[in-house]
Structure 1
């Protein structure tokens, strides 16, 4: 099972964050901390990306710019959109080496900052919006429509053939040698299972059975929730579409070990759910 299956140490204080005065008081606490995020989704770090850089806020609280992530123990943590300064990293680059609670903080911070950058205007009437609920919502100043951070569900599937080989494929835009398990977005009015069958048929002409949920991972660049599944191919047949996917085949564990050692295969970064699922398959613990 994936590492995201447990509860988070971050208390989002949803029952209190609507109170702007209460949020402002947290900002003024001596132990308050601020995580700065850039417009490209990188965040302030130290020690080569092994820890978050979390200084104490030193400016006046602005509820339209400073968003409350929540409390870690008794420490209030905020985030803000900022220009790059000093060491910054992305979740893709350093998510695997952050402590779990710091990874959670970075994920929420990047998600919120990215959403606010694109939610300044109401989708109903075009009016300007302002921040409410400590940064977890916006409201239109003209029509009163409330907006909430979006999450786009996507399925990612580790597909095994009858010989327990894993399907890996390469997108045309990827560097030579890079490959991963298959993924795709859930469309409107579609269940997760329907999305899996549609995406895998469209991209690789794979007929599946024995779908099982495996785990999930928030992926805030831009705003996805990756929902991991395992599945079996009925006959081991695969034929990529030649558009989104340009290569795809089933690999044995020995094939993967040999190609990776030779530099011919580049697998997903270890911060991703794809990497965790592939590692579980290699260890014989995926199912």
Structure 2
């Protein structure tokens, strides 16, 4: 088995960026019966049997068309509609987290397309007025640009860099990993630490600052691990491994309720007896944990 296994970062589609301003090409691809479209109401989708409902373009309502790109000989779009005008019952429409179990079950090929669609929907939903003059923004470039008709200012999709880290300490015989838990989580749930990068800050320094702020542990060496899109609502999760300089923990009491060191033996025992739950499946946190542990980890209930 190879690590890391950043499943949700695999199977990228061709985003066909040069086609976003080609009106004739866009019209032809939209009319193609092989084209598939995901309808997003605000920031929510309506799954069918737990899967995103990709439909032919002839079967979707009017809305803002967003070109996602090409893959597998097809062109893929999202159509963004107002939640008040979405077909079906309001309870039929769910957030992205509702379909993540599908990816955990191994169906990850469509993840980049879905993340692209939801990420764009989140941006459109949150960015409706010009920050310069307050004018109502209008979509351009197949949904990838919003322009103010009053002052001409253009807006482009934003992605927030967030660091997520496996903090470890010790040598091979007693190496331990530091996990934390939030107040709102169910009893026994722990995960790797994470936080957002601030302006003017390197990613490595963001790792050190977040660990110090949340659990009071100084960090030395920081090594890049991998990255994964996470449009909840607009993040790119950048994974790192980090070497702690001490095991003394002083939690902030705000974001983190408690933090705990686990050796590999302690991790296995806690998972076996059900006293601890950790991220499982396809999240980058799970990838970090399994890379450290050296094997797949099973944690029912997460």
TM-score by length of 2: 0.85
CA contact (8 A) 1:2 1:215 kept: no
- CA gap 1:110/1:33 in 2 versus in 1, 3 angstroms: same
1:271 to 268, 282, 285: 282
Instruction: State yes or no: 1:125 paired with 2:124.
Output: no
Instruction: State yes or no: 1:101 paired with 2:129.
Output: no
For the residues of structure 1 that align with 2:106 and 2:37, how far apart are their CA atoms?
17
How far apart are residue 279 of structure 1 and its match?
1.6
2:204 to 187, 193, 197: 193
Q: Secondary structure at the match of 1:274?
A: helix
Q: What runs of 5+ residues in structure 1 fail to find an aligned partner? A: none
TM-score by length of 1: 0.89
CA contact (8 A) 2:21 2:141 kept: yes
- CA gap 1:212/1:175 in 2 versus in 1, 3 angstroms: same
1:182 to 193, 203, 222: 193
Instruction: State yes or no: 1:253 paired with 2:264.
Output: yes
For the residues of structure 1 that align with 2:11 and 2:135, how far apart are their CA atoms?
36
CA contact (8 A) 1:5 1:216 kept: no
Number of aligned residues: 281
Instruction: State yes or no: 1:237 paired with 2:248.
Output: yes
Instruction: State yes or no: 1:22 paired with 2:25.
Output: yes
> Pairwise mapping of residues 71-220 of structure 1 onto structure 2 (< 5 A)?
71-81=70-80, 83=86, 90=97, 91-97=99-105, 99-162=107-170, 163-220=174-231
* CA root-mean-square deviation: 2.4
CA contact (8 A) 1:20 1:133 kept: no
Spell out, residue by residue over 1:132-182, the C-alpha distance to the aligned partner (whole angstroms, 9 max, x if none): 111111111111111111100000010111131110111112221111010
For the residues of structure 1 that align with 2:102 and 2:34, how far apart are their CA atoms?
25
In structure 1, the partner of 2:38 is 35
Deviates more, 1:165-174 or 1:258-267: 258-267
- CA gap 1:149/1:264 in 2 versus in 1, 3 angstroms: same
